[in-house]
């Protein structure tokens, strides 16, 4: 069996991935920067582990000797992704991660030609929310080849892990974005709420900068993309009322001292959803493509809870890449196709919804 490394294995998502990997018959090499955190997990699962920091470029390359693929689960990826991508390029190992950070995707795509030359795949966003939205967006885009506008929304009923929360905090200073005429442009945070019909009912969603502004643009070429997330109406109203204050919040969150303090607080207070919740919660996605003539194609997706989806789809991505012939920087839908999301148990796609 090909050898692969799970970096960031001792984090919330990393530990879930390690457990699922063993259940699926894999023996990944666990890796991270803390022996104290890695050792108990490795001993419990009967796996080998290695301790290496991302600031040790030469050490990373040596650690990847004999490794065919790295699944990178250590965020915030805006800080951690590039060192691992560089190490994978040097070692000739495929690279996958679970980021949702737009700057990380743009950076990953910048290595496309280098990855093709090395014969390796670089696939950022190999989990939730990117796989469901990327696959559904490509599905509707394929039905309308001349589409010039794309809208995407999701309602992920879950609670965030500490890693996800820290990533979200890191993104605040970057502000709001949309894709217009092929370019990422500023879109004020707290504005742009609208009602969207999902498969579980009509919901109020707020325009926010999701990963699809990078991934789906690359997968479909559609030049105008807006992304939304369903939030409680009270929170959306609050966001709208406080939108004029966001520039001050962005400036505050740009402080390394503030980010460090918030990160430490999150580490202590945020643990992520419990097992029972992961097994029962659901996630809902909608995508609509339209062209200049007013034609449209839309579809809906229902799938499992976000972290559970990441665990199952992550292992499936690893298996696909190790068994296939992939190279270059790819989005999940580019690599595996629009129907890949349907391979994840508990996922359904709809072309129409019942009236009412």
pLDDT in tens, 316-335: 999 999 999 999 999 999 99
Cβ proximity of 246 and 189 under 8 Å: yes
pLDDT in tens, 167-222: 444 444 456 889 999 999 988 878 889 999 999 999 999 898 999 999 999 999 99
Q: What is the pLDDT of residue 23?
A: 97
Q: By mean pLDDT, which of 115-129, 143-157, 268-282 is the weakest?
A: 268-282
Q: What is the pLDDT of residue 354?
A: 74
Answer whether residue 250 shows pLDDT above 70: no
DSSP 265: H
pLDDT band at 231 (very low <50, low <70, confident <90, very high): confident
Torsion of CA 319, 322, 327, 333, to 10 degrees: -10
Q: What is the pLDDT of residue 226?
A: 96
Answer whether residue 262 shows pLDDT above 90: no
d(CA 198, CA 202): 6
Do 130-305+344-349 and 4-127+307-336 fall under one CATH topology?
Answer: no
Domain boundaries, the chain: 4-127+307-336, 130-305+344-349
pTM: 0.90
Answer whether residue 40 shows pLDDT above 90: yes
Q: What is the pLDDT of residue 167?
A: 47
Ramachandran class of 163: left when φ > 0, alpha when ψ lies in -120 to 50, beta otherwise: alpha
What is the arrangement of strands in the sheet containing 69-72, beginning at the earlier edge strand? 49-51, 29-32, 4-7, 69-72, 94-97, 121-123, 328-329
Q: What is the pLDDT of residue 234?
A: 78
CATH tag for 130-305+344-349 (out of 1.10.3720.10, 3.40.50.800, 3.30.360.10, 1.10.10.10): 3.30.360.10
For the residues 138-145, what does the mean pLDDT come to?
98
Q: What is the pLDDT of residue 269?
A: 56
Query: Which CATH number applies to 4-127+307-336?
Result: 3.40.50.720
Torsion of CA 126, 178, 208, 79, to 10 degrees: 50
Nearest alpha-carbon partner for 271 in 12, 46, 72? 12
Q: Look at residue 150 and give its three-state secondary structure.
A: strand
pLDDT band at 59 (very low <50, low <70, confident <90, very high): very high
Answer whether residue 123 shows pLDDT above 70: yes
Nearest alpha-carbon partner for 150 in 332, 285, 349? 285
pLDDT in tens, 73-119: 998 899 999 999 999 999 999 999 999 999 999 999 999 999 999 99
- Percentage above 70 pLDDT, the chain: 85
């Amino acid at each position: 069996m090909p050898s692969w490394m799970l970096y960031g294995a001792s984090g919330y998502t990393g530990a879930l991935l390690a457990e699922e990997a063993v259940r699926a018959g894999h023996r990944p090499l666990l890796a991270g920067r803390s022996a104290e955190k890695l050792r108990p997990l490795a001993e419990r699962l009967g796996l080998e582990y290695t301790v290496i920091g991302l600031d040790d470029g030469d050490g990373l390359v040596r650690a990847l000797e004999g490794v065919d693929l790295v699944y990178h689960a250590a965020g915030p990826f805006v800080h951690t992704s590039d060192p691992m991508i560089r190490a994978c390029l040097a070692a000739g190992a495929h690279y996958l991660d679970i980021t949702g950070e737009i700057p990380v995707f743009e950076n990953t795509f910048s290595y496309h030609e280098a990855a093709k030359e090395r014969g390796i795949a670089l696939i950022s966003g190999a989990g939730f929310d990117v796989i469901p939205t990327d696959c559904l967006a490509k599905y509707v885009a394929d039905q309308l080849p001349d589409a010039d506008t794309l809208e995407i929304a999701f309602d992920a009923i879950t609670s965030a892990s500490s890693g996800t929360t820290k990533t979200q905090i890191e993104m605040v200073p970057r502000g709001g974005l949309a894709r217009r005429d092929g370019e990422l442009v500023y879109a004020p945070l707290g504005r742009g709420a609208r009602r969207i019909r999902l498969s579980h009912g009509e919901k109020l969603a707020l325009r926010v900068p999701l990963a699809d502004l990078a991934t789906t643009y690359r997968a479909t070429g559609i030049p105008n993309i807006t992304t939304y997330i369903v939030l409680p109406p009270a929170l959306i109203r609050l966001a709208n009322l406080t939108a004029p204050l966001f520039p001050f919040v962005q400036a505050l969150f740009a402080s390394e001292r503030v980010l460090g303090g918030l990160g430490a607080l999150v580490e202590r207070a945020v643990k992520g959803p419990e097992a029972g919740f992961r097994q029962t919660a659901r996630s809902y996605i909608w995508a609509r493509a339209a062209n200049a003539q007013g034609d449209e194609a839309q579809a809906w997706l229902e799938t499992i809870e976000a972290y559970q989806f990441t665990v199952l789809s992550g292992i499936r991505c690893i298996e696909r890449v190790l068994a296939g012939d992939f190279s270059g920087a790819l989005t999940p839908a580019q690599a595996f196709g629009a129907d890949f999301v349907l391979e994840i148990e508990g996922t359904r796609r709809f072309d129409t919804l019942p009236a009412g």
